[in-house]
Amino acid sequence: MAKSLEVEHPKKAFGWAAKDTSGHLSPLQFSRRATGEKDVTFKILYCGICHSDLHMAKNEWGMSTYPLVPGHEIVGVVTEVGSKVQKFKVGDKVGVGCMVGACHSCDSCANELENYCLDMILTYGVKYFDGTITQGGYSDIMVADEHYVVRIPDNLPLDSGAPLLCAGITVYSPLRYYGLDKPGMHVGVVGLGGLGHVAVKFAKAMGVKVTVISTSLNKKKEALEHLGADSFLVSKDQDEMQAAQGTLDGIIDTVSAMHPLMPLIGLLKSQGKLVMVGAPEKPLELPVFPLLTGRKLVGGSCIGSMKETQEMIDFAAKHNITADIEVIPIDYVNTAMERLMKADVRYRFVIDIANTLKSSL
């Protein structure tokens, strides 16, 4: 009897939260819901820092609710499962990415595309079914419906695997959906940051020829020698860009800053596809004429479904794909956010929650 009473009570959780639009994070004690019959509770070991965390902490998208515990690249070990959980058991290595709920009745959900459900529930900062506000992974424990929990294969390192739950699926999904995953194809990756460096790794593992397109010549050696890209274009070099006209089957554009699309569309072969996964704050100018004359497409993609996220994690484990990371203690998180604003990270910060959170509170 004591156990059933215990399960009904909310769980005490500790984390770091933004309390206002300054975005400054500080320690917070809050509650997680009790483990429901279909819930998985896990001890968080690592959590990646995504650029979205920065935007949300400062309410730059106008949808934040404070206090806000960021983090949607969350990995750990299961400590408790609900009575109707079928896929997980205590001790399993698991992760939670960008979403923790959806309506499960719309066309998108029926087609296993929860990420395009209009009622998708984000991992932090929005209202959950029970009326509480979701809180993310800069904390010690997580409770999530098993449908939104990903199994982490034993051979995938938890720290460098964590960013794949956002950055990884964000680039894996469009490579698959837009058919840019066929061996021998030639795909461009615009921007060599948190998303771009993982896109290069996934594309290469799929057998695709990869050209990195960047404003910075400084990244050429890194792209070719470390990440294994086949070629490198400096987007500001008109001669280089002109020489590469009409050579790419597709492009994954990871850049969130304002940038011209015309030069990128010019790099595509006829019927080529430019896929946007970065989210510039202001509208970009879209030249239509070159789309008509080359029957080219400009598309978008937003994370991936739960089925596809598990597929991505399994593919990453099989091909030894991880993010390049800098592991930090939780009390370094505000400095990390400042560095992230200046793009001073190669390529993803990951917080060592298990070893540093308790000592910081």
* Average pLDDT of the residues in 180-205: 97
Q: Which residues of 295-306 are buried (b: 16+ CB within 10 A; e: fewer)?
A: ebebeebebbbb
> Does residue 4 have a pLDDT over 50?
no
The pLDDT assigned to 358 comes to: 79
pLDDT, tens only, 76-128: 999 999 999 999 999 999 999 999 999 999 999 999 999 999 999 999 999 99
> Does residue 1 have a pLDDT over 50?
no
Q: In whole angstroms, what is the distance from residue 37 CA to residue 312 CA?
A: 27
> Does residue 330 have a pLDDT over 80?
yes
Q: In whole angstroms, what is the distance from residue 165 CA to residue 308 CA?
A: 11
pLDDT, tens only, 141-172: 999 999 999 999 999 999 999 999 999 999 99
Do 173 and 312 form a contact (C-beta atoms < 8 A)?
Answer: yes
Could you tell me which residues come within 8 angstroms of residue 244 by beta carbon, excluding any fewer than 6 positions away? 211, 233, 267
Confidence of residue 8 (pLDDT cuts 50, 70, 90): low
Q: What whole-number percentage of the chain has pLDDT above 70?
A: 97
Of 274, 314, 311, which Cα lies nearest the Cα of 291? 274
Confidence of residue 359 (pLDDT cuts 50, 70, 90): low
Distances (CA, A) of 202 to 22, 176, 198: 36, 10, 6
Instruction: Name the DSSP class of 95.
Output: E
Confidence of residue 6 (pLDDT cuts 50, 70, 90): very low
Q: In whole angstroms, what is the distance from residue 174 CA to residue 183 CA?
A: 16
Confidence of residue 70 (pLDDT cuts 50, 70, 90): very high
pLDDT, tens only, 199-254: 999 999 999 999 999 999 999 999 999 999 999 999 999 999 999 999 999 999 99
Q: What whole-number percentage of the chain has pLDDT above 90?
A: 93
* Residue in this structure with the two tokens 């695997």, named with its chain if needed: 161
Confidence of residue 7 (pLDDT cuts 50, 70, 90): very low
The pLDDT assigned to 3 comes to: 41
**What are 253's two structure tokens?**
């554009």
pLDDT, tens only, 101-112: 999 999 999 999
* Three-class HEC string of 306-349: HHHHHHHHHHHHHCCCCCCEEEECHHHHHHHHHHHHCCCCCCEE
* Average pLDDT of the residues in 304-314: 98
Strand-pair partners of 71? none
Average pLDDT over the chain, rounded to whole? 95
DSSP 141-206: EEEEEGGG-EEPPTTS-HHHHGGGGTHHHHHHHHHHHTT--STT-EEEEE--SHHHHHHHHHHHHT
* Average pLDDT of the residues in 273-287: 93
